[in-house]
Structure 1
Amino acid sequence: MDEVAGTILTGEEFEPIRGRVVIDDGHIEAIEETKTDSQRIVVPAFVNAHTHLGDSVAKEAAVGMGLEKAVVPPDSRKHRRLAAADREELVTAMRRTLQFMQQTGTISTLDFREFGVEGATALREAGDGLGIDPFIFGSDERAVLEVADGFGASGANDNDFSDERAAAREAGLPFAIHAGEPDPTDIHPALDLEPELLVHMVHAEAEHLDRVAEQSVPIAVCPRANTVLDVGKANIRQLFDYTTVALGTDNVMLNQPSMFREMAYTAKHFDVTDREVLRMATTAGAEIARLNCGVIEPGRRAALVVLDGDSHNLAGTENPVSAVVRRATGLDVETVLC
C-alpha cells in the first residue's frame, strides 16, 4: 500500500481533512484523519470537459480573429492548418500537449477530434503510454465510431447529423454537439438530436434549459475561449439550476489547456463559488466520461493531484479550496497520480 499525507480535499464538497490517503492497487483504500507535518494539498485530478487537441499544430495561429475565421469549418485558419499538417507533426504536437496536461494535473480530456478515423487514430497514438487518457469524440464519418469513444458534431447549423446520431445510439456510444456558441439558433436543433453532451450554451435561454433539464443533458462550458472569440458569456449560475456543468479549455490554438487557468478565470469572472468551480473541473467531467474518479473517497480510482502547499506561491494559504481554484499553477504540482 502507498499513502499521501497532507490536507486532503475529500468528498463532493471537498472538505479539508488533515491526514492521509491510503492507496491500494490504484484505488483509494481509506482516508485517515491524523496528525501530519506535510504541507501538501491533495485534490482529485482534473477532467477537462472539452478540448480540440488537433489545434496543437496551430498555437496562436488565430490571434485577433473571430469565431468564423478562427475555427468554423471548413475554411477557417484552424482547418486549413490541420489539413496542411502531416501525421507525424500532428501526433507529436498532440502528444506534447497531452504531456503538458498531465504535468498540470489532468488525467482525462473529452476531445473533439477532427478528420474521421484518421484523426481519431492519430490521437490514440499520441496518448499511447501516457498517464492521461483522452476520451475521443470522433467526427466526419460514421466509421469513426469503430475507433472513437463517441461522436462529436460541430453544430446543428453546420450539417444534418441525424445519421451520425443514430449510428452512435446503435453503437451504444455518446453523441456530443456544440450549441449556442455564436447565437441561440442551433440549440433547439441540437436538442432534437438528444445528445449526451452539449458544449458552450453561451446563449441558452429558459426555453432551451427547460429541455436540457427534461433530457438530463450535461453542459461543458469554456469561459476563456468564449472570451477570446468574443461570442459572449455563459450564465453558469443559471445553468447550474438545470443540469450538470463541467469545465473545458476548448481549442489549444486559443488557450493553454491548463485547468488551473480555467478555474481561476471562472472563479473571478462568474457568479460561482470556488467549490462549484472545483467540482466543474473534477467531478462533473468524470461523471460525463463515466470515470471512477473526480472525488476523493474510498473505492474511487486514486487519480490525484498533489500540490506543494509550502511553495512560494501557496505558502500562507488560509483556504485550501480557494488556493487550488484561484491561485495554484502547474509550478505548484508536486506529483500527479494517474
Structure 2
Amino acid sequence: MERAGTILRGRELEPVEGRVIVDDEGRIDRIEEEPVDSDDIVLPAFVNAHTHVGDSIAKEAGGGLSLEELVAPPDGLKHRLLRDATREELIEAMRRSLRFMSRGGTAACLDFREGDVDGVRLLREAASGLEIDAFAFARESAEAMRAGDGFGASGANDDVFDAERAATREAGKPFGIHAGEADSSDVDPALDLEPDFLVHVVHPEPAHLDRIEDGHVPVVVCPRSNLVTDVGLPPVEDLVERTTVALGTDNVMLNSPSMFREMEFLSKLSELSARDVLRMATVNGAEIADLEYGVVEPGKRARLTILDGDSDNLTGARDPVRAVVRRASVDDVREVVA
C-alpha cells in the first residue's frame, strides 16, 4: 500500500512531497521523496490524550454550572446523569463519540473511566469493531485498573491514591492524575505520587514547574474545557519548554471530541508554533501512551490521516502544517488509514 502527497514526516513534521510505502504488516517501510500528482496531506493520526467519553450521554448539559457542580463526584451533574442512564444508552452514546473521533482522524484516546470494572467493560463494548484504540484509565479501584489499561485518578484533593499507585506499578500499567485544574493545591501531592502524566495543570506555581521538569513528568492540557469551566488557561508555553505536552478534548459533555477544534483553539490563543501544536496532538500523545504510531517514519505502524489538500477549505494553503492546525476540519479528511 502507498499514499502520496505532502507528507508531514518524522517528529519535526517536516513537509516533503512523495509517497509513504506501507508493508503487508501495516508498518511504514519507507518514505520516497519525489514529485507526485496529489494534493493530499499525509500526517500521523491524532492521539486524544484525555477524554471522558462516558459523558456523551449529557452533551451540552449544565450550562452555567461551576466545575464542581458539573463533574465533582458523587453528585455532580454528570454523575447523576450517568446513574440515570441505561447501559444500552451509555454504550450507544460512547460509541457514537468514538466513531466521530475515528472519522476525524483520531487513532487513540486515553479515557478516564468512571464506573469501576463495569465502566471498563462499557468502553470495550462501545469501541468494539471501530478503528480506534480506546484506552481505559479506570477509576475507583485497583481491580478496575487491572481490567483496563491504567489508572486515571480524579485528583489528590479527592482521595489518597497511594494504594492505587502501588498497584499500577505492580501491574506495569500507567498512572495519570488530574492536577492544578481549579487551583494549585493538589499539584504537589499529585507529583508526590510520581505519576506517569498529569492532566490540566492550569495553575502551576514556579516550584511545580521545576518539579515537573526535573521529574520529566508529561502533561496533558485541555484548553477548551478549561475555558468552558472558567478555571483559566494553562501556561502552555512554559510547559512546552519544560516537558512533553500532549493535547486532549476532555469531557464530551462540554466539548466535541475533535482534535481539529482543539488544535485551532490552542494555536490561536497561544504563542506556540503550529508545529508544536500538531506535535502535541500526535507525537507527544503517542509517546505518553507508549504507542507504536503517532509519527510518520519507517518502522512505525501506519496510522495515518489523509487530508484533501484540494478541498474548498484547504486549497491554496501556503503552509501545510499551519493549514492542518488552524484551518482543517473533519470535513477535509479524505481517509483514515488504520
TM-score (norm 1): 0.98
Q: Counterpart of 2:64 in 1: which secondary structure?
A: coil
Cα distance per residue 1:49-103 (max 9 Å; x no partner): 1000100110001222220111111111111001111111111111111000000
Residue equivalent to 1:295: 295
Residue equivalent to 1:171: 171
2:177 aligned partner, one-letter code: I
1:332 counterpart = 2:332: yes
Alignment of 1:75-90 (within 5 A): 75-90=75-90
1:323 aligned partner, one-letter code: A
Distance (Å, rounded) in 2 between the aligned partners of 1:271 and 1:312: 28
Residue equivalent to 2:17: 18
Distance (Å, rounded) in 2 between the aligned partners of 1:92 and 1:106: 19
Structure 1, 110-119 or 59-68: larger mean CA deviation: 59-68
Cα distance per residue 1:155-184 (max 9 Å; x no partner): 000111111111111111111100000000
Distance (Å, rounded) in 2 between the aligned partners of 1:10 and 1:62: 42
Distance (Å, rounded) in 2 between the aligned partners of 1:15 and 1:311: 22
Structure 1, 134-143 or 244-253: larger mean CA deviation: 134-143
1:8 aligned partner, one-letter code: I
Residue equivalent to 1:186: 186
2:251 aligned partner, one-letter code: N
Residue equivalent to 1:235: 235
Count of residues in Structure 1 that have an aligned counterpart in Structure 2: 337
1:68 counterpart = 2:76: no
1:28 aligned partner, one-letter code: I
Distance (Å, rounded) in 1 between the aligned partners of 2:310 and 2:218: 36
Residue equivalent to 1:123: 123
Distance (Å, rounded) in 1 between the aligned partners of 2:239 and 2:186: 17
Residue equivalent to 1:246: 246
Cα distance per residue 1:231-276 (max 9 Å; x no partner): 0110000001221000000000000000000000000001210000
Distance (Å, rounded) in 2 between the aligned partners of 1:215 and 1:16: 33
Residue equivalent to 1:310: 310
Q: CA deviation at 1:12?
A: 1.0
Q: Counterpart of 2:296 in 1: which secondary structure?
A: coil
Distance (Å, rounded) in 2 between the aligned partners of 1:162 and 1:168: 10
Which sections of structure 2, spanning at least 5 residues, go unmatched?
Answer: none
Distance (Å, rounded) in 1 between the aligned partners of 2:28 and 2:268: 32
Distance (Å, rounded) in 1 between the aligned partners of 2:71 and 2:278: 28
Q: Counterpart of 1:134 in 2: which secondary structure?
A: strand
Q: Counterpart of 1:136 in 2: which secondary structure?
A: strand
Residue equivalent to 2:259: 259
CA RMSD, Structure 1 to Structure 2 (Å)? 0.8
Q: CA deviation at 1:146?
A: 2.3
Cα distance per residue 1:91-116 (max 9 Å; x no partner): 11111110000000000001101011
Residue equivalent to 2:108: 108
1:6 aligned partner, one-letter code: G
Of all paired residues, the percent bearing the same amino acid is: 59
Structure 1, 164-173 or 308-317: larger mean CA deviation: 164-173
Cα distance per residue 1:215-244 (max 9 Å; x no partner): 221000000000000101100000012210
Write out the 4+ residue segments of structure 1 that deviate beyond 4 Å after TM superposition: none
2:60 aligned partner, one-letter code: E
